[in-house]
Structure formats: structure tokens, C-alpha cells
Amino acid sequence: MENIKSKGLLGIVFLLNAIAILIWTYTSWYSNYIRISSVYYKQKTPESLNSITPIKDSKHFMVSAFIDHRIDGTIRVISIINRESLQPLYCIYCNAENECTTVETDVQIHSDHFGFPFHVSDVICKGKHLQNATHVLISTNDSVNRSAEFLPIRNRVMSETFKYTFTVCISTLFGDYNNVLQVAQAIEMYKLLGVQRVVIYNTSCGPDLEKLLKHYEREGILEIVSWPIDKFLNPSKGCYFHVHKGDLHYYGQLTTLNECIYRHMYQSKYVLLNDIDEIIMPYKYDNLPSLMENLQAAHPSVGVFVIENHMFPTTQFDDSGRFKRQEWSKIPGINIMEHIYREPDRKNVFNPTKMIVNPRLEEQTSVHSSLKHFGDSYQFSFDECRLVHVREPLQGNLTKDQLIVDKRLWDFEQELLPNVDNALKLSGLLTP
């Protein structure tokens, strides 16, 4: 009898030990699974600040990925492709359950490469169940590489309501750009005109401008996208390969403009494509909402609105000196309020343009014109809207008497000046 009891106790002990071993094994396996999964997802969905991702075994780069609901829900990967090293590329897209599909791609290199070997391109992925895809990888082979960095797929859900009405896309800051006063004046002017969001792709800027940008980021109007293109390529400081050389046009300006349109396709009703030293200025209307409400009502099929560029040379100053303010004397940069003289048009010279676009009707853009769009285009008349571009002169031989007085900026004096002062104070650049 005691022998039976002893065997029973041994059986219970053995069973308890077996259960303990099973629990330990499962716990160890589950912890390891969570750790591996965490690493895996971290690898394949990089932070948004990692805005440039090399494509392994190629000379190409991924930038960002979007569902394009206008073209059968395909995946569009904004990329930088070396035109001289084309090769077959594959699209590997996966869903939330980690089920992946591999398909061949259609590489669409934009037509405006200006002779540079690297250029913005759309890598198009077509396949089944794209509506369920959450992340994507462009690869040189058709096998799934679990350790590669996948891009999160944006714009998965369409929206007919928008967080912003107007978003300004500033393509690139580079060369330790530190034009603080003009940037502050431009952003405060945008706000007065009805802009709710400004997006800046930043390669490098000066220490003072960085303080100002951080202020606007805290305020909520500014989105800064890190753009370390110089860590991957030798970007050109100019627009034409035969003159300026380099790998890529003007620090990747064309890539960032296209990326910005898709990034804000369902966030903003309109996107303004202009540089930081330019202001899209309504003349016939008080602000951008009034301008676009009237024009869009009259032209409902238009998705691209084109604005003529007009130069205000920084070499000519207002004689009265009314805006030569002591408060701004130690702030680096150009005071746009002092420059009211506009260069006349030249009949035989192309006048560059910039654009306001409906991003849902835009497919590919260049700097001065749309390359592909779904709607119609419209060019603003001179009295409706024009671009106020304060910079070094293009017609430097002209005297002040040969320039045209244009004081449109002064219409905003009462609100603009204190707003600029406040921004500079909150940035720590102006003593309260």
C-alpha cells in the first residue's frame, strides 16, 4: 500500500515538473517571439524621419509609399532612380498578418530630369489585395527579405474632408541657410493669407533659423521633414547638369515636391508649390480662400492653378526707410518690406511660374509646371494673383526708375509686423 502511495506521489511530482518545464518553455519562446517581432517590425517600418532608404544591390532609393486610389488602388512608391543603371525591380507588399506578395514593377521616371543621372520616379506596384497592404519594399529580387526596411503605406483611406485648406510645400533648405527674417516674414504672411500648414524639407539650415523653425513646429503650423540627401548622393546646387554637375537636380527638389503632394493628398484641399523666398499673393482678392472660392466656382474642373513669377530685387530699397526697423537690425536675413520695386516683364524671356494644385488631381509635378494631372489647368491673370519673389535681381542693369513700384506687401503691415516680432521673441532671437 505504501509503495502504491509512493509511486502516486512520484507521478504527481513528475507531472508538476513537466508542467513547469512546459510553462518555462512557452514563456521563453513567447518572450523571444515578441523580441524578434519587435525587431522585425522596427526594421521593416522605419521612422518617418528616415526619408531616404537605399534599395539593396542597386543605385536606387525609396522615399515614401502611397495607395493611389485614382489608378485602381495601385501602390505608388516615390523613388530616386539612377537612369543609367536601370534593372528589373520587384515590389514586395505585406499585410498586417505578415502575408507578403511579390510582383514586378513599372518604373516611371519623370520627364524633367535636366540631364542628371538620378531623378524622381514613380515605382508602380499592381497586384491582388492591395487594399490590405500595410507596408512595401522595392527589391532587386523577388524573394522576401525579412530583415529589409519596408516602407509604411500611406493614404490607405480616402477622405473628402481635410484638416487643412492650404498647405505650402517648401522643397529644400540646404547650405546652412540662415535667412531668418525673410522666413519669419514669409510664414507670417502665409498665415495672414489663409495658410494653415507649411512643410519644409530640411537638409541643413543655420543655427538661428533652426530656432525659428522649432518655434513654428511647436506652434503647429510647420512640419519639418528631414531630408539628408547629401548623405547618400552628391546633390547639385543648380538646375542644369551641364552647368552645375552633381548626381541629382537641386538637392532633390523635384522629389520633395512630388512627395509633399502625395503626403498631403487627403490632408489638404490645396497645396501651394513655391520657394521660401516667394509668396503667392492674391491682388484682386484679400486672401487665398476668397481667391480660390471664386476661381474654383467659375472653373470646377481645374486642378492646377498657375501663377506668374515677378522679381523684387533685393538691391533696391524703399526710399522712405519706414521699414528699416531697429528691432530687426541684428536678425540675419532679408527684410522683404523694404523691397517694393518690381522688375518689368521681358517679352522675349520665359517668365517662370509656380502653382496651387488640388493634390487629388495631380499625378506628377515639375518645379514650374505640372507634368501629369487629371483635371484642367488655369493661369491666373496678372490682376488676380502673382508671385512676389524677393531675391537678387535678374535684370541687374535696370535703375530704380526703370522698375515698377508694387506696395502690395504693405497692405499687411498692421498685422504682419507685430506677428513677426512675436515669432522672433518666442524663438529667442529678439529680446522681449
Task: Determine the average pLDDT of the residues in 363-388.
Answer: 97
pLDDT at 421: 98
pTM: 0.88
Note whether 338 and 317 are within 8 A (CB). Answer: yes
Residue pLDDT, tens place only, 212-233: 999 999 999 999 999 999 999 9
pLDDT at residue 39 tops 50: no
Percent with pLDDT over 70 in the chain? 89
The residues, any chain, with a CB within 8 Å of residue 138's CB and separated by 6 or more, are 55, 60, 62, 77, 79, 89, 90, 91, 92, 105, 123
Domains and CATH numbers, the chain: 53-154 (2.60.40), 164-426 (3.90.550)
Is the confidence at residue 18, as pLDDT, over 70?
no
pLDDT at 14: 55
Q: What is residue 219's predicted lDDT score, i.e. its pLDDT?
A: 98
For residue 380, with 0-12 CB atoms within 10 Å meaning exposed, 13-18 middle and 19 or more buried, which class applies? buried
pLDDT value for 148: 85
Is 23 a residue whose pLDDT tops 90?
A: no
pLDDT tens sequence across 290-324: 999 999 999 999 999 999 999 999 999 999 999 99
* Residue 104 phi, psi (nearest 5): -75, 160
Q: What are the beta bridge partners of residue 62? A: 53, 79
First to last CA, the chain: 95
Listed in sequence order, the residues at least 6 apart from 371 whose beta carbon sits closer than 8 Å to its beta carbon are 110, 111, 112, 363, 364, 365
The pLDDT value given to residue 47:
38
What are 335-372's pLDDT values in tens digits?
A: 999 999 999 998 888 889 999 999 999 999 999 999 99
Other Cβ atoms closer than 10 A to 73: 15
What is residue 405's three-state secondary structure? strand
Q: What is the Cα 343 distance to its own chain's centre?
A: 31
3-state SS string for 341-370: EECCCCCCCCCCEEEEECHHHEEEECCCCE
- Spatial neighbors of 114 by CB under 8 A, at least 6 apart, are 239, 240, 241, 249
